[in-house]
Amino acid sequence: MRGGRWIRGVSPFLLGVAMGIVALMAAGLLLYSGPGFLSALVVVLATQLGSMALGVVYGIRSPETDPVESLRRRWLIVLVAVTMAVLFSMAWEWFAGFGAPALGQGLGLAVLAALPLFGAGAVVGSLSLLPEGRGFTRAGPAALLGGAAGVLLTGLVLFPLLGSPAALLLLALVVASSGALLQGRSLQRLVWAQPLSGDGGHATGQEHLQAWVGGRPERSRYVLMDQGRVRGAVAPDGGPFLPVDRALIEGIDGWIESDRGRALFLGVGRLPLALHLAGARVSGGAQEGTAGIHVMEGSPGLLAGVEELIRRVGEPGLVRSAQAASESESAQVILQSVPVEETLTGSSDHLPPTSFDLVVLDTLALAPTPAAFRLPPGALSRLVSAIRPEGVLIVGPLQDGGSCGPLLDRVRQMARHVSRTSLYVAGRMSRDEDEELPVEFHGPWVRSRPEPGSRPAFVVLGGGRSTGWPDRVDGYLRVVLDAGEGSKEAEA
C-alpha cells in the first residue's frame, strides 16, 4: 500500500495537466476570432472556474452508492467530456469556427470549457473524501499544480510544436486516460473505514463494529474491533473473510453429520463459523441450522457489535441474548456476557462436562496477538471435558514460528488430553498485509494475524474415533502427530 502512495498524487496531477491544456485551448479557440477580447476572456475564465467549483461541490457530496464506483463514474464523465471537446474542436477547425455566431460560441463554451472542468472538479471533490488523500498527495493541491504545469507546457512547448488545438485536446485525452488508469490501480488496493448508518434503535455497539470498504468488492468486510484490535472479520454476505475462518468452515462441513448439536464459541473472533452453523449466510449453501450456538464474550459493547452485525447479515430473529433465549429454540446464536478467562479458570458453570458437540476457543479473547497466547493452567482439561465423545475442540488462531518459536512442542502438550490431535499450518509464510488495513489503523497494534516470517495455524482436538477432517483445508496443511502423542489413528 505504501509503495502505491505516489500514484494517488500522480493521478490528480495528470488530471490537472489535462485540464490545463483543455482550458488554454478553449480560451484560444473561442477568443481567436471573437470581438471584445477582454469581455470574452472574462466570460471564458468565469465559466471555467465556476464549472470546476460546481464540480468540486458535486464531488464532495456523500455518494449514495459505493464511493469507489462513484469515483469511477466521475472519471468516466471527464473522459467523455474531453472526447466531446476533441470532436468539437475538429469540427470548429474544419468549419472555421462555424462563422463565429453567438450560438456556436456558446456551445463551444459549454463543450470545450464547462463540461470537462466540471467533470475534473467532481473527480477532485471525490478524491478529497478518500482517507489516503492526505498531505501533498491530497487531490486539490496536486490537481492545481498539474493545471499550472499543463498551461505552461501547452503555451511554451506543445502549441508551438503541434499547432493544432484538436491535436492538443487529443493529447489531453491521453493524459486524462493515464490518470484514470493509475487511479483505478490505486483504488484496487485501497481500504477505508466507512461509518455505519443507524438501523432504527440498533445503533448500540457500533463503536465495536466497523464497515471496511475496499476498492475491490472482495476486500470489503465488517470488522469487530476491541480496544484498537481486530478481533474478527466477516464478509458483507455473512461469510468468512479471513483465511482461518474459510479453513474452519471447510473442515467443519466434513465433520458435521446432522443439523443438530450444541456449539460453544469462547470469544467472537470465529463468528463466521457460528453464522455458518446457524445457516445465516445469505449467499446460500449453508447448513439447515444448528441448535444452541452459544457465543461468550466479556465485553458487553463487543457483544452489542456482534448483535448489530448479525442483524445486518443474518436472518430476522437469528440472534438472541442469553436472557431472552430458550433452549428449545433452534438455529439461534445466543450471546452471553461472560469473560472467557473466567469461564476457563473460575468456578463458572458454563462448561458442564460432556455438554457440547463443538467448542471453539478464540485465542485473541485471551491475548492481544496469536504469538502471545497461552492457555491458563487447567483450562485445556476443562475444555476437553466439556465436549461429548464425538465432539471437537478448536483452538485458534495460533502462530508457528516467529517470536513464539515452534508450535509443535506446545501442541504435543495439548495432545496428552485427547486421543486425536491435528495441527493445521498455513502452507505459505504469512506476509505483510498493511494494504488490507485502512489508513486510520496502520501499525502493529491493530494486528490479529501472525507476525511476518511466521505461519498461521490452528489446532483441532477430538476424543472420538475420528474428527473426519481433511488433510488440507483452504491452504492449511494438516500435521498429524506421531502415534501415542495424541493421535492413536496416525495418518500419513
Written as one string, the DSSP assignment of 200-219 is TT--TTTTTEEEEEESSGGG
Based on the number of CB atoms within 10 Å of its own CB, is 265 exposed (0-12), middle (13-18) or buried (19 or more)? buried
Q: Tell me, yes or no, if the pTM score tops 0.75.
A: no
Residue pair 179/12 in contact (Cβ under 8 Å)? The answer is yes
Cis ω before 397 (30° cut-off from 0): yes
Distance CA 12, CA 5 (A): 13
Distance CA 88, CA 84 (A): 6
Show the cell assigned to 448: 490479529
Distance CA 422, CA 392 (A): 11
SS3 content of the chain, % helix, strand, coil (to 5): 50, 15, 35
Distance CA 319, CA 293 (A): 10
Distance CA 298, CA 197 (A): 26
- Which residue do the cell numbers 488523500 mark? 133
How many Cβ atoms sit within 10 Å of the Cβ of residue 472?
14
How many Cβ atoms sit within 10 Å of the Cβ of residue 462?
24
Question: Residue 260's pLDDT is what?
Answer: 53
- Which residue do the cell numbers 488490507 mark? 436
Residue pair 262/355 in contact (Cβ under 8 Å)? The answer is yes
Question: Residue 435's pLDDT is what?
Answer: 46
Question: Residue 97's pLDDT is what?
Answer: 57
Residue-wise over 333-353: b if at least 16 C-beta within 10 A, else e? bbbbbbbbeebbeeeeebbee
- Identical fold for domains 2-189 and 209-480, yes or no, is no
H or E stretch including 223? strand 221-226
- Reading the chain (492 residues) residue by residue, the pLDDT tens digits are 444 555 556 777 777 677 667 776 676 666 655 555 556 666 777 777 778 778 887 877 755 556 677 788 888 999 999 999 889 888 877 876 555 566 767 787 888 888 888 988 888 888 877 765 443 346 777 787 887 788 788 878 887 888 788 888 898 899 989 988 888 887 777 777 777 765 444 445 667 888 888 777 778 889 998 887 888 889 888 889 888 899 998 888 766 654 457 889 999 999 999 888 887 443 344 344 445 788 999 888 899 888 888 888 876 667 776 555 454 444 478 888 888 988 888 766 778 888 888 999 999 999 888 888 888 888 888 898 888 888 889 998 998 887 777 888 888 888 887 878 889 998 765 544 444 666 556 554 555 666 777 888 999 988 554 456 788 888 899 886 644 444 433 332
Question: Residue 19's pLDDT is what?
Answer: 67
Question: Residue 83's pLDDT is what?
Answer: 92
Question: What's the sign of the alpha-carbon dihedral 457, 458, 464, 468?
Answer: negative
Residue pair 94/7 in contact (Cβ under 8 Å)? The answer is no
Question: Residue 8's pLDDT is what?
Answer: 58
- Eight-state DSSP code of residue 258: S
Residue pair 7/137 in contact (Cβ under 8 Å)? The answer is no
- Eight-state DSSP code of residue 240: B
Question: Residue 395's pLDDT is what?
Answer: 94
* Domain 209-480 -> CATH class: alpha beta
What residue spans define the domains of the chain? 2-189, 209-480
Question: Residue 481's pLDDT is what?
Answer: 62
Enumerate helices (H) and strands (E) in the chain, giving the number of each: 14, 14
- Eight-state DSSP code of residue 487: B
What one-character-per-residue DSSP string does 163-189 give? Answer: --HHHHHHHHHHHHHHHHHHHHHHHHH
- Eight-state DSSP code of residue 112: I
Q: How many alpha carbons fall within 13 Å on the CB side of residue 70?
A: 18
| Residue 300, CA distances (Å) to 207, 273, 307, 360 in order | 12, 21, 10, 20
| Residue 168, CA distances (Å) to 21, 120, 127, 441 in order | 7, 17, 26, 43
Length of the chain: 492
Domain 2-189 belongs to what topology? Growth Hormone; Chain: A; (1.20.1250)
Question: Residue 155's pLDDT is what?
Answer: 78
